[in-house]
Amino acid sequence: MSAKRSKKILDLITYTLLILGAITMITPFLWMIATSFKLPADQYTHTLIPTNPTLQNFRELFKVDINFPRLFLNSTLISIMVVVGQLLTCAMAAFCFAVVKFKGRNLLFALLMVTMMFPAQVTLIPNFIIFKWLKLVGTSVPLWLPAFMGGAFGTFLLRQYFLSVPKELIDAARMDGASLFQIFWKIYMPLGKPALSALAIFVFKDAWNDLLHPLVYMPSVPNTTLTVGLAFFNQQLTFGGKFTVLMAGALISILPLVLVFFIAQKQFIEGISLSGIRH
Partner 1 sequence: MESGLKPLGKEKLWLWLMLTPTLIGLVFGIVGSILATLGLSFTHWDLLTPPRWAGLENYKVLFTDPKLIKALVNTITFSLLYVPAVVVASLAVAMLMNRKIKGLSIFRTIYFLPAVTSAVATAIVWNMIYGQDHGLLNWVLGRIGIAGVSWLSTKNVLSALIIVNVWGAIGEGMIIFLAGLTTIPKDYYEAATLDGANRRKQFWKITLPLITPSIFFQTLMSTINAFQAYDYIYMLTRRGQGDSTFPVMVYSIYRNAWTFFNYGGASAQAIELSLFVVALMAFYFWLEKRYVFYD
Q: Which of residues 24-43 bind partner 1 (CB under 8 A)?
A: 24-29, 31-32, 35
Taking the complex as a whole, the smallest distance from the CB of residue 63 to partner 1 amounts, in Å, to 19
Q: Does 47 bind partner 1 (CB under 8 A)?
A: no
| Angstrom distances, CA of residue 158 to CA of 60, 90, 92, 153, 212 | 43, 7, 9, 9, 26
Taking the complex as a whole, the smallest distance from the CB of residue 62 to partner 1 amounts, in Å, to 18
Q: Does 12 bind partner 1 (CB under 8 A)?
A: no
How would you write 3-68 as a 3-class SS string? HHHHHHHHHHHHHHHHHHHHHHHHHHHHHHHHHHCCCHHHCCCCCCCCCCCCCHHHHHHCCCCCCH
Taking the complex as a whole, the smallest distance from the CB of residue 12 to partner 1 amounts, in Å, to 12
Q: Does 119 bind partner 1 (CB under 8 A)?
A: yes
Binding pattern for the stretch 218-247 against partner 1, x by CB under 8 A and - elsewhere = -x------xx--xx--xx--xx---x--xx
Q: Does 79 bind partner 1 (CB under 8 A)?
A: no
**Helix/strand/coil for 266:** helix
Q: Does 265 bind partner 1 (CB under 8 A)?
A: yes
Taking the complex as a whole, the smallest distance from the CB of residue 24 to partner 1 amounts, in Å, to 7
Return the CA Rg of the chain: 24
For 25, how many CA atoms within 13 A lie in the half-sphere containing its CB?
Answer: 6
Q: Does 164 bind partner 1 (CB under 8 A)?
A: no
Choose which of 39, 77, 124, 191 interacts with partner 1 (CB under 8 A). Answer: 124
For 186-242, where are the alpha helices, taking DSSP H only? Answer: 189-191, 193-209, 212-217, 226-240
45 vs 43: CA distance, rounded Å: 6
From 51-59, 63-71, 100-108, 192-200, give the range in contact with partner 1 by CB under 8 A: 100-108
